[in-house]
């Protein structure tokens, strides 16, 4: 969590009794607020309805002065907060509770809205998200859903901006064209593996990264697998350059399209052919601004390579577990529609009425069983602030999210 802002302090102060405030000096109050707030997730504060007491702040007509004095927020975010205050005056009384959550959401995730229309549209989407969260919580009670950085996006916008895998027909065509000399296909004996195994606890997983608004999950997935292979075999944690493989596979040879989607095996082929450099040598910038992909650099020293990749049999989750245990974290594709609002726990997502739609690449880093429910552990590429520190769990053995169709292992 970033450093406590004045806004965060005010949010928690609404939960502290006036009698206690009278007894505390400013220094003591600041320490109390800081200590208590850092124990809480923003959703916990939402659930306790502390934001309802924002009404007192809004009634004082000093909100612009208050916003100007906030520390740790950009001027663009402060402008968004001011625009939201003006928009609030047009709301129906019944929307106040949702607006108070929206106000805190803007500050926490440092949102930047350009005008009244942008604020209005974003608030409507935010309200739809709140309703969807309630529905998903009922459908999947072993998981927790809540507000996150994607809560002002429609499901369609979310998929378009924060995934990056093409449709199934594209994948089928790709698999028919993969160079067989670089690809293995095998089925393993799935007996005698532990019931629970997590590469995070066995020095096999590198830190979660963030693809930003670039549709290049395919690259982050491949790089995550390569980083894990290097770590498992050398004990050395590297942050490899996602930008290099986004830029250098943005061509017909490797079948990728920069921030407009691509394929994980195309990236793995590139690393087999050329190796991959460190992120410090070619930093990821495609997730920012207008998502312009730079040219492929020359002369960058490679930090590691892999020797081959393996396309794993479809619809065989037992085999996937065996590969994860024996080889290391593996790449797989999913339908990300069901994870937009995920916070923690084990997802159990029913197949949509229109069927699954594969659109996102992730890394399987482990599996386990909890209270009779088997699950997968996935590493995502939306930063450590999303989900469970950047990871999520999904029910295992039922092809949830269509996760057992397209999977790859890489070999050091």
Q: At what angle do helices 96-108 and 75-88 cross, to 10 degrees?
A: 180
**Angle at 175 (CA atoms; ends 170, 177), nearest 5 degrees:** 100
Q: What percent of the chain has pLDDT over 70?
A: 79
pLDDT (tens digit, 9 = 90+) per residue, 158-193? 999 999 886 456 566 555 544 444 445 455 555 588
Q: How far apart are CA 132 and CA 150, in angstroms?
A: 13
Yes or no: say if 50 and 12 are a contact pair by the CB < 8 Å rule: yes
pLDDT, the chain, mean: 83
Phi, psi of 51 (to 5 degrees): -65, -15
Whether the per-residue pLDDT at 147 is higher than 90: the answer is yes
Phi, psi of 409 (to 5 degrees): -110, 150
Q: How far apart are CA 50 and CA 32, in angstroms?
A: 16
Hey, what CATH class is 155-411 in?
Answer: alpha beta
Phi, psi of 211 (to 5 degrees): -80, -5
Residue 15 pLDDT level (bands cut at 50, 70, 90): very low
Q: Which residues have C-beta within 8 Å of that of residue 151, sequence separation ≥ 6? A: 105, 125, 126, 129, 130, 341
Q: How far apart are CA 148 and CA 111, in angstroms?
A: 12
Tell me which residues are annotated as active site: 217, 360, 380
CA–centroid distance for 214 within its chain: 13
Domain ranges of the chain: 6-139, 155-411
Taking the whole predicted model, whether its pTM rises above 0.85 is answered as: no
Residue 55 pLDDT level (bands cut at 50, 70, 90): low
pLDDT at 89: 83
């Amino acid at each position: 969590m970033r450093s406590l802002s004045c806004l965060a302090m005010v949010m928690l102060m609404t939960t502290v009794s006036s009698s206690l405030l009278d007894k505390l000096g400013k220094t003591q109050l600041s320490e109390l607020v800081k200590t208590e707030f850092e124990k809480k997730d923003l959703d916990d504060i939402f659930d306790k309805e502390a934001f309802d007491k924002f009404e007192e702040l809004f009634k004082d007509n000093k909100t612009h002065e208050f916003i100007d004095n906030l520390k740790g927020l950009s001027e663009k975010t402060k402008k968004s907060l001011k625009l939201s205050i003006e928009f609030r005056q047009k709301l129906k009384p019944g929307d106040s509770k949702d607006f108070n959550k929206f106000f805190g959401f803007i500050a926490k995730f440092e949102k930047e809205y350009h005008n009244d229309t942008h604020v209005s549209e974003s608030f409507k989407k935010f309200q739809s998200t709140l309703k969807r969260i309630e529905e998903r919580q009922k459908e999947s009670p072993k998981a927790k859903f809540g507000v996150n950085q994607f809560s002002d996006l429609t499901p369609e916008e979310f998929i378009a901006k924060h995934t990056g895998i093409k449709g199934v027909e594209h994948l089928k065509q790709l698999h028919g064209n993969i160079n067989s000399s670089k690809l293995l296909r095998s089925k393993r004996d799935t007996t005698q593996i532990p019931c629970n195994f997590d590469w995070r606890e066995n020095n096999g997983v590198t830190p979660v990264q963030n693809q930003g608004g670039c549709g290049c999950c395919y690259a982050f997935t491949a790089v995550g697998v390569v980083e894990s292979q290097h770590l498992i075999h050398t004990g050395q944690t590297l942050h490899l350059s996602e930008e290099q493989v986004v830029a250098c596979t943005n061509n017909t040879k490797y079948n990728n399209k920069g921030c407009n989607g691509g394929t994980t095996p195309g990236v793995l082929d590139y690393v087999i052919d050329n190796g991959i450099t460190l992120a410090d040598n070619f930093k990821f910038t495609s997730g920012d601004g207008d998502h312009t992909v730079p040219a492929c650099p020359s002369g960058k020293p490679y930090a590691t390579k892999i020797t081959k990749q393996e396309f794993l049999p479809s619809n065989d989750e037992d085999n996937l577990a065996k590969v994860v245990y024996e080889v290391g974290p593996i790449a797989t594709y999913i339908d990300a529609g069901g994870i937009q609002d995920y916070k923690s726990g084990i997802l159990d997502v029913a197949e949509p009425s229109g069927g699954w739609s594969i659109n996102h690449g992730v890394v399987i880093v482990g599996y386990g069983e909890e209270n009779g429910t088997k699950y997968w552990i996935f590493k995502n590429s939306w930063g450590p602030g999303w989900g469970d520190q950047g990871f999520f769990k999904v029910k295992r053995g039922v092809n949830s999210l269509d996760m057992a169709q397209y999977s790859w292992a890489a070999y050091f």
